Structure 1
């Protein structure tokens, strides 16, 4: 146990040391990675190189329980430790949840609040895996962040995660006073699978005519059919792999046919926007340049915009899938998350 802990400390120091080197030195360590007219950030390139040197197993190659432990260890290695005024564990619609209260908004009354849904392919992730980005979003945006730990596959296949996300949003509306939330300034957001759940929740809220001020979609999965050039370009070597995507599909929706995968609760890209566009919350959607999910996220943004929804799209060209969790390693991933937090703040002002 002690040896394992010491090893984790050493690995974390190594990652932070190398990715924190001056940019001029980072550029000398290896060759730049250029693909699709984009250049990978040097600190991210070195992070991936260290992962390969350490022979860190990809989580999708491990049994799911072991993969969950490996992912928890990997995210802890690159997590930041931003401070907030209060962190409170609670239950939301029967689910484990965690409320982050920023120092800038400690007073009484109702405050802008983000309902956050973590990524992990519907199979991995929890409150701890995304503790660091939730802290940074809360502290930088000055908003309350309510993170919810929905049920995971394969133990709970589709539509369990979607149903939990929707139940959590309804709970927040009904219990806003308990968490100090202003129902006129609510956002729903998440990364990857969490972005998928956030988008589907926003669609459901629009259909029901319920209040929502902003969708914060960070490299979201939007199309379960997944026939994109970005998947072909970046499906290997950039953290999120084709193998991980296939495992997530086999775990979360193995029973669905190709046509059934167009269900908007799973693939927001196929939602009938005509009936909800005028009630759909404005969207801030960001993608990563070296991400297999890049094209489907940007395609969804274009479809929303064509339907008349207010949309802002930001591609972080030099980043990979998962940069939201890299708040404690390197400079460029953290800077991207800070930018996202400022856009969240503006969207709920």
Structure 2
């Protein structure tokens, strides 16, 4: 049977996809075109989500590998909202990387999508404003995230964080960076190691750019956009070549030993679905704890909405449960 949108979201997502299908096709290297559409789609939804008045945002700075100053925004419940039995001992934290295909987005926008987790878990999130491509191609974004991790570990005591209980999390390209960070931190013998990685439909494989007719018309991230994103991040003449580092495209990894415990979810109508499943299988083969959810009928970015529906509630609950184990 042909693939189709889940009935839960067909009414709200269908017209948007029809609009995208009717719009002029984005050329394989039309960076401005993709950025403009992402502005409308992602920023439009984010701006319709009110900021949570009980969550306080505090911005810190950390130097990256090349001297660039990375901004890190802490999202945490205000003291007035904490329960009387809240402990003052160091606890878990999440280092977060936003989505946007390596070419778009910022913390100010994406905090609207993660504030629900801050409230549900009552643990701080540290969102990283990593540099975007093509203005800053690989390895800038991954190194910015690594700098943020080292900064968080070194300031853990002052921030009330247990350095052994730091998880990483990201949406889309942000979760690709989180996966790359897991590999980089392992290879650089970061201690304590990352406690867990929460990967939400990560973009892992630069070789996955061929058209997917059965999925492209049903998703918010069609195959030709991946060409734009990977070309900006790696350079067009390097995409798909043999010498790509797993720090750039984690699907290139050969040795999965020593990676963090992993939670991963992806929609069944996501062009990234197969590479996500393959990456999770590589981790599982090393007997590392891994939890995978594939949600039928769900496109890329299925959770970036203000419309409630059952699968979204289930996905959020599964993510919260995974983070409670950190």
User: Partner residue of 1:212?
Assistant: 194
Shift of 1:289: 1.1
User: Partner residue of 1:117?
Assistant: 97
Question: Runs of 5+ in structure 1 lacking a partner?
Answer: 1-33
Shift of 1:313: 0.8
Distance 1:161 1:315, change over 3 A: same
- Greater helix content: 1
Distance 1:345 1:307, change over 3 A: closer
Shift of 1:345: 3.0
Q: 1:297 aligns with which of 276, 282, 293?
A: 276
Q: 1:339 aligns with which of 313, 317, 323?
A: 317
Shift of 1:63: 4.0
Matches within 5 A, 1:6-21: none
Answering whether residue 221 of structure 2 is matched by residue 251 of structure 1, we say no
C-alpha contact (below 8 Å) 2:180/2:250 kept by paired residues: yes
CA displacement, residues 103-147 of structure 1 (integer Å, 9 cap, x when unaligned): 558653322101001111100111133112220111122321111
Equivalenced residues, count: 308
Shift of 1:54: 6.1
CA displacement, residues 276-301 of structure 1 (integer Å, 9 cap, x when unaligned): x1x32110111111111011001100
C-alpha contact (below 8 Å) 1:84/1:135 kept by paired residues: no
Distance 1:324 1:166, change over 3 A: farther
Shift of 1:152: 0.4
TM-score w.r.t. length of structure 1: 0.78
Instruction: Report the Cα distance in structure 2 between the residues aligned to 1:143 and 1:50, rounded to whole angstroms.
Output: 37
TM-score w.r.t. length of structure 2: 0.83
Shift of 1:269: 1.9
- After superposition, the CA RMSD in angstroms is 2.8
Answering whether residue 71 of structure 2 is matched by residue 96 of structure 1, we say yes
Instruction: Report the Cα distance in structure 2 between the residues aligned to 1:284 and 1:80, rounded to whole angstroms.
Output: 28
Instruction: Report the Cα distance in structure 2 between the residues aligned to 1:248 and 1:223, rounded to whole angstroms.
Output: 11
Shift of 1:221: 1.3
Q: Report the more deviating stretch, 259-268 or 240-249.
A: 259-268
Instruction: Report the Cα distance in structure 2 between the residues aligned to 1:88 and 1:321, rounded to whole angstroms.
Output: 30
Q: 1:270 aligns with which of 245, 248, 252?
A: 252
